[in-house]
A and B are shown apart, each in its own frame.
Chain A
Amino acid sequence: MEFLLVLLIGLLYASGTYMMFRRSMVKLLLGLILIGNGANLLIFLVGDINKGNPPVIPRDFSSLQGVYSDPIPQALILTAIVISFGLQAFAIVLLKRVYLVTGTDDLDQLNSDDQDI
């Protein structure tokens, strides 16, 4: 399971980076989304994957019993996912606006503000 996740994370980072190097804005956005998902999975992976109990102390004990799952990576991923949803939604709207204003999705064409020295 761990090994599969490692491969998947590597693939997500690599393909995300590759997509970001493309000239199309849509591919750039896809790249950002892939890389973001890779980061989320990475936190999940390094937070120790096991089939543990919920991290709740039983009524009669004063400490955790047996194997339990660390809740923090899940909380971190949840936060990161919510934040990246917001940012990606903003980025999609931004790209749409840029496309409407400039009429192109080629990043190399976005230089109307450049000036001669």
Chain B
Amino acid sequence: MTDPYIILPVLLHLLTAILLIFCWKKVRAQKIISVAGNLVIVLLAFGLWMKVWNLGILTMQGGGWEAPFGITFVADTLSATLMLLTAIAGLAVAIYSCAGITKNRIQYGYFPIVHFLLMGLNGAFLAGDIFNLYVWFEVIIISSFVLMTLGGRKPQLEGAINYVTMNLLASVIFLTAIGILYGLTGSLNMADLSIKIANIENRELVHVTAILFFVGFGIKSAVFPLYFWLPSSYNTPPSAIAAIFGGLLTKVGIYALIRVFTLIYIPDSFLKGVFLFVAGATLVTGAIGALGKTDIRRLLSYLIICHIGYMLAGLALYTEQAMTGALFYLFHDIVIKTNLFLIAGLIYKIAGTYKMSELGGIYRRYPKLSLVMAAVFFSLVGIPPLSGFWPKLYLISESLNSGSYILLASILIASFITMYVIAKLWAEVFWKEPMVVTDLKAAGFDALSNFKKQLLVIPVIALTALTLYMGFGAQHIAVLAERISTELFHHQPYIDAVFEPKN
């Protein structure tokens, strides 16, 4: 069905960003506009999700040019769900930023850039045209470059060099793949490519483009061995920014991988083998990387890499069940990684450091808050019946069914190491007596006004509630993930929706 409604979240982010630019130096006005804008977008995204859930795939042809000649926007269930989760994470981060980001950063355009970033994410989820997807990726990376370097402290700049270089390189590889693909098929529309790519005789070149796409998106989603830019950069910006990056940026790479390798390419046994190896290696190396880290945010950065492996494992096994698991994990991961970085920011506000050796005693000082955080940590580890458990169940049973025992071992190793590092983090940060007895009154969190404390705590509690819902209401998420998985593997309705004649 053609429905211009689907583009509204993108436009509203653009509008909010423009409004914010007009309030350049007015910090309070920016906070109010940003939170209000995000609130409206959450409602819109929920409306869109309901529409897609009830009516099926919605499309919009840019400028009324029919596919495959115009630029197509498609909202299927996967896009709509990811847009909803992005909107929720965006709202949480916007509220958190009101107290967590300093006046100086806000005066140099923090909020407008966040909205441009979220606009890019929404656009990427909607893009039904591969070159359009490239353009949205560029919108995302240029916004993330600015966010990463905003403030210009030395570690930030040093981390940004890695980040900028690898992302520019990924874009060039992506562009190369698009160029060759256009030369082969003469089309850029993803639904059209899906039909045309099957009839290309030069299979070798088709495989080359598939690998190029995999490398390009692989760098963006930080898979083995292309992830080293992530731990060196994600621990440098303020936590609110790291939360958006950790929660959403690597996931858009995974989204692109899932979309391209279910709609356009159907992986052959060689490609599946590559995926299997990369997924297993990502799981194990990410987990081992997290083992020795003493800085909370560095540890979390390695856990991001490790858990990307679960989603890739779902794609590598390439069955509907495994994809269901991967999608479930994707939804769980967006919420929980955003939340974890917000929590890391809270801990920093409380104790003034990210170093685990210097932290301690947070449970004694803030028992209720610690319990909320504990729920998040347990969900991350995947203690049944919390949300990290269910997707792993799908993945483990599928890797058993398909006989991929090495992947199975990697999944188990990664789960155990995750549990170990989180247990260590809990013991060091929450239970241990602090090494340096800091003056409690002087610490940042207690000095804040009550209202500001709530601005920091409420997003964490709300995201924790969502995580708990994903765990205890797992049947809802599983139904959703199964429906998306079916849509991905039987993509004829997607193609029909794009090529639906105009009425």
Contact = CB atoms under 8 A, between A and B. Distances in A.
Nearest to B145: A90
A101 B157 contact: yes
B168 A91 contact: yes
A115 B188 CA distance: 46
Contacts of A80: 175
Contact of A46 (B142, B152, B179): B179
A10 B15 CA distance: 43
B407 to A, nearest CB: 28
Given A46-B179, A46-B182, A47-B183, A20 B165 contact: yes
Given A87-B142, A94-B145, A32 B175 contact: no
Contact of B161 (A42, A76, A94): A94
Nearest to A114: B232
B236 A86 contact: no
A87 B168 contact: yes
Given A73-B182, A87-B168, A42 B158 contact: no
Contacts of B235: 113
Contacts of A32: 165, 168-169, 172
Interface string B141-165: 1100110010010110111110011
Contacts of A46: 179-180, 182-184
Contact of B175 (A43, A107, A111): A43
Given A28-B165, A79-B135, A90-B142, A110 B182 contact: no
A23 to B, nearest CB: 12
A111 B188 CA distance: 42
A46 B187 CA distance: 12
A113 B236 contact: yes
B155 A113 contact: yes
Contacts of A115: 294-295, 298
B142 A86 contact: yes
A94 B157 contact: yes
Interface string A61-90: 000000000101100100110010011001
Nearest to B163: A94
B293 interface: yes
Contact of B188 (A39, A72, A98): A72
Contacts of A87: 138, 141-142, 145, 168, 171
A9 to B, nearest CB: 10
A7 interface: no
Interface in A23-65: 25, 28, 32, 35-36, 38-40, 42-43, 45-48
Contacts of A83: 135, 138
A117 B292 contact: yes
A112 B154 CA distance: 8
A67 B180 CA distance: 22
A115 B355 CA distance: 10
Given A42-B176, A87-B142, A72 B158 contact: no
For chain B, give the interface size range: 35 or more
Contacts of B292: 117
A83 to B, nearest CB: 5
Contact of B157 (A39, A43, A90, A98): A98
A112 B158 contact: yes
Contact of B158 (A36, A79, A86, A110): A110
Given A20-B169, A80-B175, A115-B295, A101 B138 contact: no
A95 interface: yes
Contacts of A101: 152, 154, 157
B468 to A, nearest CB: 34
Nearest to A90: B145
B159 A113 contact: yes
Contact of A102 (B154, B168, B183, B184): B154
Nearest to A80: B175
Contacts of B298: 115
Interface in B228-256: 232, 235-236
A87 B294 CA distance: 34
Contact of A98 (B145, B146, B161, B182): B161
Nearest to B232: A113
Given A32-B165, A39-B176, A43-B182, A102 B158 contact: yes
Contacts of A70: 186
B131 interface: yes
Contacts of A28: 165
Top-8 shortest CB links A-B: A46-B183, A113-B155, A43-B179, A110-B158, A117-B292, A39-B175, A98-B157, A42-B179
13 contacts: A39-B172, A46-B179, A47-B182, A70-B186, A79-B135, A83-B135, A98-B160, A110-B161, A111-B158, A113-B232, A115-B298, A117-B292, A117-B293
Given A87-B138, A117-B292, 12 more contacts: A32-B165, A42-B179, A43-B179, A76-B131, A76-B182, A79-B135, A83-B135, A86-B142, A91-B164, A98-B158, A113-B232, A113-B236
